[in-house]
Amino acid sequence: MSARILDGNAIGASIKAELAEEVKALRAIGVQPGLAAVLVGEDPASQVYVRSKVKTCEQLGLYSAHIAPPASITTAELLALVAELNARDDIDGILIQLPLPKHIDSKQILRAIDPAKDVDGFHPVNVGLLSTQQPGLVPCTPAGCVEILRRSNIPMEGKEVVVLGRSNIVGKPVAMLLMNESATVTVCHSRTHDLAAVCRRADILVAAIGKAAMVTPDMVRPGATVIDVGINRVTDPKLFEQLYAGDAAREKQFAEKGSTLCGDVHPRVMEVAGAMTPVPGGVGPLTIAMLMYNTVLAARLKRGMAPSR
Ligand code: NDP
């Protein structure tokens, strides 16, 4: 058996096409949703992420401001910048690209963002709204996981879900969202006993651990749906060989670039699962689509308009 591929690129493209239409209609009544993307310093990976977020804004007709203070900015100066963005009328969403340099108090910065503009959904107010099932801005990657399930017609209600990972960014919010969808949710972490046995209970397994190929076929119930959130760069030729020997496209990429992206789920889980997200091309494209969704939603809510769905 080979799992049905849950194609995040295709699902993300549909969401973006819907949003482009919505933005067109909003602009026709004089509303252009705007996102401020703040990138402190020059971390190359963060630069790639922010560039692609700004580019997607442009594609969908959103206004975007790319703000790039130097790595030497102080917490007080960054707080002042956040206050300025909170007050700006043309900005509906504020994104502070993480991680911030170590000398900056990240929690204080994230708490300073107006919850109504917190398009990453990390502000304690939005965390509270999510956990009490009230409308708010929901973290993008977790929202993307649920959107993949919903748009792939995979039922969540009453299903056994196991979430691997309990981070504030992925594990906890995705567990909360799935609970809100009436799934029966178990959250695992590094202290969980007999992880494989717990995972095998899952109808839907969400892996957000940050360890390449850690979820092996013996941990997956045959036919289960597997959502692989992990993004890990594999550079070790030996590990590459173990994971991808015989995969011509990957071998070509590895030979050219010296690396490939691998999820938290072993590629051979494809032989056991009923449906599975690939890496790359699974959850990743949904994260950016949901960021755009949140920016448009924030713009609507600020003007007293109802959410589009
Ligand atoms: P964190 O490092 O913050 O959290 C990892 C979690 O996994 C922790 O709860 C940790 O447990 C748990 N864990 C670690 N090792 C084990 C183990 N051996 N057995 C069981 N549990 C374990 O990671 P994030 O949540 O931020 O990210 C997870 C992955 O998702 C990463 O690969 C990241 O790159 C990716 N990611 C992808 C995104 C996307 O757009 N697709 C967006 C965000 C993240 P404990 O709490 O006990 O330490």
Catalytic amino acids?
53, 97, 120
Q: How many CA atoms lie within 13 A of 63 on its CB side?
A: 17
Ligand 1 touching residue 166 (CB < 6 A) = yes
Ligand 1 touching residue 106 (CB < 6 A) = no
Whose Cα sits closest to atom 19 in ligand 1?
190
Report the C-alpha dihedral over residues 227, 200, 216, 156, rounded to 10 degrees. Answer: -10
CATH number, domain 140-286: 3.40.50.720
Residue among 309, 308, 298 at smallest CA distance from 89: 298
CATH number, domain 30-117: 3.40.50.10860
Whose Cα sits closest to atom 30 in ligand 1?
230
Report the distance separating Cα 84 and Cα 78, nearest Å.
Answer: 10
Q: What is the mean pLDDT of residues 51-69?
A: 97
pLDDT (0 to 100) of residue 128? 98
Give residue 46 CA to ligand 1 midpoint distance, Å.
Answer: 18
Q: Predicted confidence band at 155 (pLDDT cuts at 50, 70, 90)?
A: very high
What backbone torsions phi and psi does residue 255 show, to the nearest 5 degrees? -65, -35
How does the average pLDDT of the chain come out, rounded?
97
pLDDT at 233 over 80: yes
* DSSP structure class, residue 90: T
pLDDT at 177 over 80: yes
Q: Crossing angle for the helix pair 8-28 and 140-151, nearest 10 degrees?
A: 110
Task: Write down the residue that tokens 């981070």 correspond to.
Answer: 167
Whose Cα sits closest to atom 47 in ligand 1?
190
* DSSP structure class, residue 115: G
pLDDT (0 to 100) of residue 1? 66
Ligand 1 touching residue 180 (CB < 6 A) = no
pLDDT at 235 over 70: yes
pLDDT per position as a tens digit, 185-202: 999 999 999 999 999 999
pLDDT (0 to 100) of residue 308? 86
Give residue 141 CA to ligand 1 midpoint distance, Å.
Answer: 12
Ligand 1 touching residue 111 (CB < 6 A) = no
Give residue 121 CA to ligand 1 midpoint distance, Å.
Answer: 18
| Structure-token pair, residue 77 | 């100066």
Report the distance separating Cα 288 and Cα 301, nearest Å.
Answer: 20
Q: Which amino acid is at 291?
A: L
Q: What is the mean pLDDT of residues 68-81?
A: 97
Give residue 308 CA to ligand 1 midpoint distance, Å.
Answer: 32
Contacts of residue 32, defined as CB under 8 A and 6 or more positions apart, other chains included, come to 23, 26, 61, 62, 63, 90
The residue count for the chain: 309
Percent of the chain with pLDDT over 70: 100
Report the distance separating Cα 91 and Cα 295, nearest Å.
Answer: 9
- Ligand 1 site-directed mutation target among 46, 98, 190, most atoms within 8 Å of CB: 190
pLDDT per position as a tens digit, 98-117: 999 999 999 999 999 999 99
Strand order in the sheet with 184-188: 4-5, 275-276, 225-228, 204-207, 160-164, 184-188
pLDDT (0 to 100) of residue 178? 98
Please indicate whether the domains covering 30-117 and 140-286 agree at the CATH topology level. yes
Contacts of residue 164, defined as CB under 8 A and 6 or more positions apart, other chains included, come to 171, 188, 189, 195, 199, 205, 206, 207, 208, 209, 215, 264
pLDDT (0 to 100) of residue 277? 98
Between 10-19, 39-48, 214-223, 226-235, the lowest mean confidence (pLDDT) is in: 39-48
Domain boundaries, the chain: 30-117, 140-286
Ligand 1 touching residue 208 (CB < 6 A) = yes
Ligand 1 touching residue 8 (CB < 6 A) = no
pLDDT at 245 over 90: yes
